[in-house]
Amino acid sequence: MREPGWFLDAGTASHVRAQFQRTCDARGWTLLAGAVIGDHVHVVVGVAGDPDPASLLRDLKRYTANALNERDGRERRRWTRSGWRRRLRGEGQVVAAIRYVRAQRWPLVVWVAPGWADEATRG
């Protein structure tokens, strides 16, 4: 690591969530669910077509890091280079991913898009 690690707090978590929404809106993606935890983030994004998940992750990380750096008035590396990503095939996998996101322990902020919250709570 080039810099000491950093942890998200509640204020930063809200900022991350808002920037994820702005990035998705600008790209024409649908932010379906997410959870911001102190040391990592989970997000489920709906995207038309079959894009490379690495490009979605790259954009979310890049624009969120830029927004946090601007907010803090300090340039710093915010995310690790990699991140786990996977294509979700079909509604069943999307619902399972949303359930997983909602079940995170000690989240600072959790959200589920309207229309998916009921699906994700059914057993």
Tell me which residue of 28, 42, 51, 22 sits closest to 101, measured CA to CA: 42
Least confident of 19-23, 37-41, 76-80, 105-109: 76-80
**pLDDT tens-digit readout, 9-18:** 999 999 999 9
7: pLDDT strictly greater than 90: no
Question: pLDDT grade, residue 6 (50/70/90)?
Answer: confident
Residue located via tokens 């509640």: 10
**pLDDT tens-digit readout, 41-95:** 999 999 998 888 999 998 999 999 888 888 877 777 767 677 788 899 999 999 9
Domain edges within the chain: 10-121
Q: What is the pLDDT of residue 122?
A: 67
Cβ neighbours, 10 Å, residue 59: 16
Please list, in sequence order, all residues whose beta carbon lies within 8 angstroms of the beta carbon of residue 95, skipping any fewer than 6 positions away: 116, 119, 120
CB-CB contact of 65 with 59 (8 Å): no
Distances (CA, A) of 59 to 1, 49, 54: 21, 17, 9
Q: What 3-state class would DSSP assign to 60?
A: helix
